[in-house]
Amino acid sequence: MSGMMNDNKRSVKAVLIGTAISLLLTVMLTCVFAFIIKLMPVVPYGIIDYVLIGLSGLSILIGSYTASVMTKSKGMMIGSLCALIVFLVLTISGMSIPDNDIGILTVIRVVAYLVCGVIGGIAGVNRKEKVRIK
């Protein structure tokens, strides 16, 4: 029974670390993207939302990969939990902006995040261990 408890604690810790990595990477990549947009003479407003979804998806992929490498099991669950938590944090913070509502872009965002989270989780569990030659 205590082995299962340690496994659950490790999974929770991995999800929290993966989520933190995803959120930090999202902030850093968004700042880089904002700097690039600032340098552009013409701002392509139509693609900004989709680029931000892609940047967040990449961050979630990396965070869920890291989390599933830590647990070495349950990659789909770990990845989807990381993605769902990041989605909730970003959606709740986005709802604090006036005139920002839930629409089709929110559905696209949650699907993209979950797909990236699951792919990162599966990739992290299935990664090959490095062969160490003594």
CA neighbours closer than 13 Å in the CB half-sphere of residue 72:
3
pLDDT in tens, 84-105: 999 999 988 888 877 777 788 8
Place of tokens 């082995």: 3
Q: Give the pLDDT band (50/70/90) at residue 3.
A: low
**CB within 8 A of 71, min separation 6: which ones?**
10, 11, 14, 78, 125
Distance CA 130, CA 23 (A): 28
Spatial contact of 47 and 103, defined as CB atoms under 8 Å apart: no
Instruction: Write down the pTM of the prediction.
Output: 0.86
52 — alpha (psi -120 to 50), left (phi > 0) or beta?
alpha
Across the chain, mean pLDDT equals 88
In tens, the pLDDT along 124-134 reads 888 877 656 66
d(CA 40, CA 108): 27
Cα–Cα distance, 14 to 94 (Å, whole number): 25
